[in-house]
């Protein structure tokens, strides 16, 4: 282990571990339930869209759903069986909301899809190719956030990754899934770390593990070769909640602080969970997508606390009953730990990619609930806040619904660790107020975007109508000009015809005058005959003309 001077973050708590019970037995695979309820969204970002249909028979690892969105993750079949429904079903959420789920009736065969694509020579692949494999495997951050892993492995062309950190600091009470993973699959975690390092081109890697977890530290050190020690350090860090927070862990391991409204990559650091590294090794080296994970089943209402390898979509009730749930002792069920876990009201809620622990609390366990009392301004919340915020001010402005003011106190730097609520003597659920304020601000921003979009559409429509009006007017003007030119041409033609007719009349008249003058040389008898012929033509009496001519003859 490389000796180094550790940093220290502000605040935090020393909490009882309550971890020993779930680490007494080795990790085993959970039984396959009769039905799996696989949510289409198990990650941050856009939900996946089904690529299968009801009635299809699917194999383990087969793609079930995907999306064209950039921020998303595909979903794969956790086992073989038949798709019987795609319905709304309860999913892990504080509100107990429902979401679309693919229901698979399992066949018990657990049959893998053929032709898994393994890449043992991953170092010959480009970082982009590695990221695509990780993306197609549906891997998200397994530390709890569920952010698509391939995005965090893409620092950008202008970013240099100095340090890649693997987070093995399982600081919240009761949770032991990462500790057991490090004890049992240390080599796979290191393989995943090497792949991640190649993807981000990191100069150095650090694995941070809390000092109370000596078995995990020993297992990781034993798996680390001398050659690997040149660029990988395994560091034991003080056990203090919330050391497992990304910014807090970076501060402890590198003594660097991530600025407000910035990301770790802005200071040359990328941080991933040890479970994510294990999933990356599975995907790249063995072609196995993310379809299961280690899950801690523990709490006062569980007879045999343990860690299970669990398929996503497994109903929580199935796992809890497998571990001996005492329903008469169950007071609360949390997905996660007692500090940041989500309360689950429906036991049929399925396990998803971010389900690291099912905590079945007994009566009075993990703190009794007390009625909320007025704030006494003791300042304890500010003393323990690891983000160095002023929780009391955030509470007042959140409660007053002054969402502009609450942002002035850096609301979105709050990691919702719950330290402030844990030490509050008035038992104020401070984190709930912060979550409420964040939700309202996000909703206002969504409404503003919709309003701006509607206004832009209206203004664009007005511009389009004005442009159409101008185009119509221009078209009418051109049509009028063409019509005028056409009419002018017709007038010229008509005038020419009239002039030609007049010219013909004048010419005929002139001819008649000429012929009249030529009659001066005729005899009287000839002139009389011509005059008589002209008179007959003028009166249009052919019969009379014949008679006159005969009499004249």
The per-residue pLDDT for range 55-85, each reduced to its tens digit, is 999 999 999 999 999 899 999 999 999 999 9
- Would you say 170 and 213 are in contact if contact means Cβ atoms under 8 Å apart? yes
Q: Alpha-carbon distance 60 to 58, whole Å? A: 7
What mean pLDDT value characterizes the chain? 90
Segment 429-458 mean pLDDT? 90
pLDDT of residue 89: 95
Within a domain: 103: no
Segment 339-367 mean pLDDT? 91
Range of the domain at 204: 20-32+120-361
Cβ neighbors of 403 (< 8 A, separation 6 or more) are 397, 437, 440, 441, 444
Within a domain: 140: yes
Classified as helix, coil or strand, 349 is coil
- For residue range 472-519, list pLDDT tens digits in order: 998 888 888 888 887 777 777 777 888 888 888 888 887 777 766 665
- For residue range 288-340, list pLDDT tens digits in order: 999 999 999 999 999 999 999 999 999 999 999 999 999 999 999 999 999 99
Examine the domain organization and report whether 393 and 289 are in the same domain: no
pLDDT of residue 545: 43
- For residue range 85-105, list pLDDT tens digits in order: 999 999 998 778 899 999 999
Examine the domain organization and report whether 394 and 438 are in the same domain: yes
Cβ neighbors of 194 (< 8 A, separation 6 or more) are none
Work out the angle at residue 354's Cα, subtended by the Cα atoms of residues 352 and 359, and round it to the nearest 5 degrees: 90
pTM for this entry = 0.81
Within a domain: 308: yes
Examine the domain organization and report whether 304 and 210 are in the same domain: yes
Q: Which residue's entry shows tokens 């794969």?
A: 76
**Token representation of residue 115:** 């032709």
Examine the domain organization and report whether 276 and 380 are in the same domain: no
Residue among 180, 178, 294 nearest 243 (CA): 178
Domain boundary among 334, 361, 388: 361
CA separation, residue 321 to residues 148, 293, 304, 316, 520 (Å)? 31, 19, 10, 9, 143
Read off the DSSP letter of residue 19.
Answer: -
Domain boundary among 338, 361, 384: 361
- For 86, the enclosing helix (H) or strand (E) is strand 81-90
- Would you say 298 and 210 are in contact if contact means Cβ atoms under 8 Å apart? no
Within a domain: 331: yes
Task: Read off the CATH number of the domain in which 333 is found.
Answer: 3.40.50.11540
Strand arrangement of the beta sheet that strand 163-168 belongs to? 232-237, 204-210, 163-168, 269-273
Q: Alpha-carbon distance 245 to 134, whole Å? A: 24
407 versus 494: which is more confidently predicted? Answer: 407
Classified as helix, coil or strand, 230 is helix
Within a domain: 80: no
Examine the domain organization and report whether 147 and 207 are in the same domain: yes
Examine the domain organization and report whether 345 and 395 are in the same domain: no
Residue 476 burial (CB count, 10 A): 10
Q: What are phi and psi of 66, to 5 degrees?
A: -155, 175
Within a domain: 14: no
Examine the domain organization and report whether 162 and 282 are in the same domain: yes
Examine the domain organization and report whether 447 and 345 are in the same domain: no
Segment 449-473 mean pLDDT? 90
Within a domain: 163: yes
Classified as helix, coil or strand, 207 is strand
Q: Alpha-carbon distance 24 to 286, whole Å? A: 30
Measured torsion, CA atoms of residues 102, 136, 266, 197, in degrees rounded to the nearest 10: 130
Domain boundary among 444, 468, 491: 491
pLDDT of residue 512: 74
HSE value, Cβ hemisphere, 13 Å, CA-based, for 388: 10
- For 50, the enclosing helix (H) or strand (E) is strand 49-50
Cβ neighbors of 482 (< 8 A, separation 6 or more) are none
HSE value, Cβ hemisphere, 13 Å, CA-based, for 228: 19
**Token representation of residue 433:** 């107020």
Within a domain: 110: no
Q: Which residue's entry shows tokens 């056409």?
A: 486
Examine the domain organization and report whether 308 and 418 are in the same domain: no
Examine the domain organization and report whether 425 and 476 are in the same domain: yes
Q: How many domains does the chain have?
A: 2
Peptide bond connecting 34 to the previous residue in cis, omega within 30 degrees of 0 = no
In this prediction, residue 540 has a pLDDT band, given cuts at 50, 70 and 90, of: low
**Token representation of residue 189:** 């975690």
- For 233, the enclosing helix (H) or strand (E) is strand 232-237
pLDDT of residue 528: 75
- Would you say 233 and 192 are in contact if contact means Cβ atoms under 8 Å apart? no
- For 83, the enclosing helix (H) or strand (E) is strand 81-90
Q: Alpha-carbon distance 157 to 119, whole Å? A: 25
Examine the domain organization and report whether 299 and 425 are in the same domain: no
Examine the domain organization and report whether 408 and 300 are in the same domain: no
């Amino acid at each position: 282990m490389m000796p180094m001077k550790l940093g220290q973050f502000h605040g935090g708590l020393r909490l009882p571990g309550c971890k020993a019970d779930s680490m007494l037995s080795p990790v085993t695979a959970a039984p396959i339930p009769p039905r799996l309820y696989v949510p289409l969204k198990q990650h941050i970002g856009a939900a996946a869209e089904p690529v299968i249909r009801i009635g299809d028979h699917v194999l383990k690892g087969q793609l079930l759903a995907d999306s064209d969105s950039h921020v998303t993750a595909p979903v794969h079949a956790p086992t073989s069986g038949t798709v019987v429904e795609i319905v709304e079903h309860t999913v892990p959420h504080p509100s107990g909301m429902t979401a679309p789920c693919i229901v698979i009736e399992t066949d018990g065969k657990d049959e893998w899809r053929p032709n898994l694509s393994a890449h043992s020579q991953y170092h010959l692949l480009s970082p982009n190719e590695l990221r695509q494999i990780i993306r197609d495997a549906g891997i998200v951050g397994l530390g709890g956030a569920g952010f698509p892993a391939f995005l965090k492995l893409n620092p950008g062309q202008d970013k240099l990754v100095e340090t890649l950190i693997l987070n093995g600091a399982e600081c919240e009470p009761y949770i032991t899934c990462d500790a057991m993973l490090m004890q049992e699959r240390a080599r796979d975690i290191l393989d995943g770390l090497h792949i991640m390092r190649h993807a981000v081109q990191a100069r150095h890697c650090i694995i941070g593990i809390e000092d109370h977890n000596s078995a995990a530290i020993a297992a990781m050190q034993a798996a680390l070769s001398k050659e690997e020690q040149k660029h990988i350090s395994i560091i034991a860090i003080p056990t203090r909640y919330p050391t497992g927070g990304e910014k807090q862990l970076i501060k402890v391991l590198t003594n660097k602080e991530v600025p407000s409204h910035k990301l770790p990559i802005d200071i040359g650091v990328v941080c991933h969970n040890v479970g994510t590294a294990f999933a990356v090794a599975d995907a790249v080296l063995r072609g196995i997508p993310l379809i299961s994970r280690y899950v801690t089943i523990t709490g006062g209402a569980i007879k045999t606390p343990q860690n299970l390898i669990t398929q996503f979509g497994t109903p929580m009730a199935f796992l809890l009953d497998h571990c001996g749930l005492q329903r008469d002792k169950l007071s609360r069920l949390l997905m996660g730990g007692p500090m940041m876990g989500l309360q689950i009201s429906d036991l049929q809620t399925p396990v998803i990619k971010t389900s690291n622990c099912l905590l079945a609390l007994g009566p009075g366990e993990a703190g009794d609930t007390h009625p909320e009392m007025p704030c006494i301004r003791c300042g304890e919340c500010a003393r323990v806040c690891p983000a160095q915020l002023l929780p009391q001010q955030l509470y007042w402005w959140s409660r007053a619904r002054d969402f502009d003011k609450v942002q002035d106190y850096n609301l979105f730097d709050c990691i919702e660790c719950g330290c402030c609520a844990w030490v509050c003597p008035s038992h104020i659920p401070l984190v709930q107020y912060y979550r409420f304020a964040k939700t309202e601000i996000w909703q206002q921003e969504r409404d503003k975007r919709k309003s701006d979009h509607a206004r832009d559409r209206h203004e664009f429509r007005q511009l389009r109508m004005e442009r159409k009006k101008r185009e119509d007017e221009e078209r009418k003007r051109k049509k009028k000009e063409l019509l005028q030119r056409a009419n002018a041409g017709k007038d010229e033609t008509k005038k020419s015809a009239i002039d030609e007719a007049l010219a013909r009349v004048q010419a005929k008249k002139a001819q008649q005058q000429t012929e009249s003058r030529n009659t001066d040389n005729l005899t009287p008898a000839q002139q009389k005959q011509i005059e008589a012929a002209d008179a007959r033509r003028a009166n249009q009496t052919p019969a009379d003309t014949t008679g006159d001519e005969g009499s004249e003859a």
